[in-house]
Amino acid sequence: MSEKLFFKAIQSQRTSVLVINGKDLTSLPSLIQKMNYLKILDLKFNQISKLCPEFINLTQLRTLNLGNNKLEEVPEELRTLNNLETLYLSGNLIKSFSSIPCAGLVNLNFLNMNNNLLLKLPPEINRLKNLKYLSLNHNRLIGIPKELCSLTFLYEIQLNYNQIVSIPEEFKDMKNLSRLSLARNCIKEFPIVLCVLKKLRVLDLAGNFIQTVPKELQDMKLRVFFCEENPFVKKHPIYIEQKEDILTLKEITARYILNEMTEQDPWYLQGIEDFPEILNILARKRTCVLCGKRVLFPDIKCVTFKHQAKKMKKTKNLMNISNLTIKITKLYKRERQIITLTNQIKNK
């Protein structure tokens, strides 16, 4: 069957495109060596397990699609395809990627090896100097070789659905990387090395085990950041229930007096002298069941008073309240002075 198909194809010696999809081809005939002008070869959805030796003669190939076949390794016959630019090997049974094919694919800029059984990439992958797009989704990769980071033309890397644990520090050298997908891996810490990539615009880290994100993330120029299904992203919104009971000014003031002022405080002593009924309140010694501090009404939850930091920015209203407090204090002191002088005059 395959011999007849290729025989028809080579009737024209200058055939540049050959598409044979879903024909259950198990191998390529030796006739293929006569197709010297072939630039596009599409053999997806067949049963090919290996390439014939004559395949090395297709030196003019620009695009090769061997997707959804039965290949168990990256064919070594690719080593002579110096002009190949696009290579599809997705949907095979590839477990190994030897260094031999990398030697000849010097002009390859697109590589798709999705849905295979790859455990690792060879260090020699750094020979693919012109590679711009790399897709290795749905494999069994546990790491990324640092040699991959020397491919400075790479602008998109797809590594979803693998078993990758971490990103090598050498990733900082990938100055042109624009899109990086690492969804559904085993990453536990946010790869902080990615924060220095100025051209990175799309980052997918969904479905990992990341607990926190670094503050450097806010300096990145990301346009899209997928991070769902990580521990640092809550599945349910956090909310605070609004209570109907609102603390009155009397309660807030009482709590401040009870908890902040000491018995030696002159304001405290003066308050007891002017308002003896305060002693009855103090004698009750009611405390909050949550924090143990003194409260006026035990059925109202506690309020924690914090001192304002020196560098804290004040709102206009807060400044007005502070100024009003100062004015009231001055008026109170002046009133006390007038009363004292009046009593002295009466005594004389």
What does the pLDDT look like over 94-105, one tens digit per residue?
998 988 999 889
State whether 262 and 197 are in the same domain: no
Q: Does 57 have pLDDT greater than 80?
A: yes
Query: Are residues 193 and 56 part of one domain?
Result: yes
The answer to whether residues 156 and 220 belong to one domain is yes
Answer yes or no: is 249 within a domain. Answer: yes
CATH number of residue 146's parent domain? 3.80.10.10
The parent domain of residue 293 ranges over 241-320
pLDDT of residue 276: 67
- 176 and 108 in a common domain: yes
Predicted structure pTM score:
0.67
120 contacts 141 by C-beta, under 8 angstroms:
yes
- pLDDT tier at 204 (50, 70, 90 boundaries)? very high
pLDDT-based confidence at residue 110 (cuts at 50, 70, 90):
very high
According to DSSP, the β-strands at 224-226 and 202-204 are parallel
Q: Is the per-residue pLDDT at 140 higher than 70?
A: yes
Here the contacts of 54-59 (C-beta below 8 Å, separation 24 or greater) are 54/28, 54/30, 55/28, 56/80, 57/32, 57/33, 58/32, 58/33, 59/83
Instruction: Report yes or no: 47 and 24 within 8 Å, Cβ to Cβ.
Output: yes
> Which of 139-153, 195-209, 322-336 bottoms out in mean pLDDT, i.e. has the lowest?
322-336
Contact 97, 127 (CB under 8 A): no
With H, G, I as helix, E, B as strand and everything else as coil, classify residue 40: strand
Residue of 37 and 181 predicted with greater confidence? 181
Count of the separate structural domains present in the chain? 2
Question: Does any domain span residue 233?
Answer: no
pLDDT above 70 (res 150): yes
Q: DSSP labels for 114-150?
A: -SS------GGGGG-TT--EEE--SS------GGGGG
